[in-house]
């Protein structure tokens, strides 16, 4: 151990700039840097590397466990030296790990034991990187993730191409405390499929717990997508605590102003609401007008971002909102509005700007698509609002 070096300054600097460390952690780093560790650094081909002087033993982990309060995130990939080093003698449970992001192809099987930490709360595991046997081991370990709070990028343990005849897929025993549900890359989605998904969310998720819902379709040009109907959305009306709703699996939004008014009443805590605003550019007209924005402004006091296709024809543009309503909306936090390909003529720019300024006085950005002329018209709306 006489040849071992202390923690180098550049490593300390990298740790200290980590957003996940608090002041208490930083105060302890001074003591950590004075202790001897089982590795050194040297220069090879102008690349700084850390190389082990000897294989790890369980004794080497003892001081690490004592300082494990500093360990917030574990991330590595198979191409680096770290997995090879850890594989010789992987640590047992580091009970402060809240994030584990392995990128392995399965060569270092022992490292999967880190996934068994009972305090793991935010793992990111790509099952596609593992062999069938290792996938099975991971699936069997799920029951030991007793503190699991969130998962991201966890895919099904098989490729859909391996099951060409699969017509039904069930998901059972979902926790009643589930707060975020994401359904993505839906192929050949029919109107009935969309309604079934929303109904399944209603039936298998606690109505007072869900905070985020994402339903994403496959956006390939050859893939058909249904329109979004009010009757399809009805099962989602019970999730009154939801804060983020992303519904991008459709090719049209067929809600009227009155139906938007009902939806706005469902979600008083919503902060981000996203319909597929791009759908309007495909020729699928929407009956909703600017009037629908007033409903969301009044019923959703926390709404910050809204993506919604609109009809902005001359005869559909409402007049300015009343003074009493305008006063009540002065502090509304809405700052980003995405209207997608909603068509707007230059002659209506002033009227639209006045209306938006009344319902969303803090609006800072209007996003749009479609032709260059249409984008220019909506850009003029934003400039007109800023000029008032």
Q: Whole-angstrom Cα distance, residue 97 to residue 76?
A: 14
Q: Where are the beta strands (DSSP E) in 126-166?
A: none
In a domain, 160, yes or no: no
Do residue 37 and residue 185 come from a single domain? no
In a domain, 187, yes or no: yes
Spell out the per-residue pLDDT of the chain, length 388, in tens.
334 444 455 455 555 555 555 666 656 655 555 555 455 444 444 444 556 667 777 887 776 666 666 666 665 554 555 556 666 776 665 555 555 555 555 445 555 555 545 555 545 554 445 555 555 656 566 555 555 555 544 444 444 444 455 555 555 555 566 766 767 666 677 888 889 889 988 988 889 988 999 888 766 555 667 889 999 999 999 999 999 999 988 888 999 999 999 999 999 999 999 998 865 445 567 899 999 999 999 999 999 999 999 998 888 899 888 887 887 888 999 999 999 888 899 999 999 999 999 999 999 999 998 788 889 999 999 999 988 7
The number of domains in the chain is 3
Q: Whole-angstrom Cα distance, residue 66 to residue 374?
A: 62
Do residue 265 and residue 305 come from a single domain? yes
Do residue 227 and residue 191 come from a single domain? yes
Do residue 332 and residue 185 come from a single domain? yes
- Could you list the residue range(s) of the whole structural domain that residue 80 is in? 67-154
Q: Whole-angstrom Cα distance, residue 261 to residue 103?
A: 46
Do residue 83 and residue 49 come from a single domain? no
Q: Whole-angstrom Cα distance, residue 251 to residue 194?
A: 12
Q: What is the pLDDT of residue 3?
A: 41
Q: What is the pLDDT of residue 244?
A: 95
Strand partners, 182: 214
Strand partners, 186: 217
Query: What pTM was estimated for this model as a whole?
Result: 0.63
Task: For residue 328, give both structure tokens.
Answer: 């009540």
Q: What is the DSSP secondary-structure string of 284-316?
A: ------THHHHHHHHH-TT--EEE------GGG
Do residue 189 and residue 322 come from a single domain? yes
């Amino acid at each position: 151990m006489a040849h071992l070096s202390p923690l180098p300054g550049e490593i300390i600097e990298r740790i200290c700039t980590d957003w996940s460390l608090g002041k208490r952690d930083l105060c302890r780093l001074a003591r950590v840097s004075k202790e001897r560790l089982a590795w050194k650094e040297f220069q090879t081909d102008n690349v700084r590397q850390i190389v082990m002087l000897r294989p790890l033993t369980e004794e080497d982990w003892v001081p690490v466990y004592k300082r494990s309060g500093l360990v917030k995130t574990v991330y590595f990939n198979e191409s680096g030296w770290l997995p090879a080093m850890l594989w010789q003698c992987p640590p047992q449970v580091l009970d402060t790990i809240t994030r584990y992001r392995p990128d392995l192809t399965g060569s270092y099987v022992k490292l999967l034991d880190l996934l068994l930490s009972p305090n793991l709360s935010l793992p990111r595991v790509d099952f596609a990187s593992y062999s069938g046997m290792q996938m099975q081991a991971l699936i069997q370990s799920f029951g030991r993730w007793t503190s699991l709070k969130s998962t991201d990028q966890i895919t099904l343990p098989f490729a859909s191409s391996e099951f060409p005849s699969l017509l039904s897929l069930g998901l059972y025993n979902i926790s009643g405390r589930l707060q975020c549900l994401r359904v993505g890359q839906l192929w050949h989605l029919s109107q009935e499929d969309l309604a079934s998904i929303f109904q399944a969310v209603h039936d298998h998720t606690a109505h007072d717990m869900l905070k985020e819902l994402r339903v994403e379709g496959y956006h390939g040009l050859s893939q058909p997508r249904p329109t979004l109907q009010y009757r399809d959305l009805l099962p989602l009306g019970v999730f009154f605590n939801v804060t983020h709703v992303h519904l991008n699996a459709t090719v049209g939004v067929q809600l009227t102003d009155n139906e938007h008014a009902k939806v706005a009443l469902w979600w008083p805590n919503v902060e981000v609401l996203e319909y597929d605003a791009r759908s309007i550019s495909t020729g699928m007209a929407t009956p909703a007008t600017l009037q629908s924005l007033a409903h969301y402004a009044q019923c959703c006091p926390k709404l910050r971002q809204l993506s919604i296709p609109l009809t902005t024809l001359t005869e559909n543009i409402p007049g300015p909102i009343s003074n009493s309503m305008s006063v009540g909306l002065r502090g509304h936090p809405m700052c980003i509005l995405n209207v997608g390909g909603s068509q707007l003529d230059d002659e209506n720019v002033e009227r639209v700007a006045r209306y938006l300024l009344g319902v969303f006085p803090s609006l800072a950005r209007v996003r749009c698509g479609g032709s260059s002329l249409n984008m220019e018209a909506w850009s003029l709306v934003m400039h007109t609002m800023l000029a008032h």
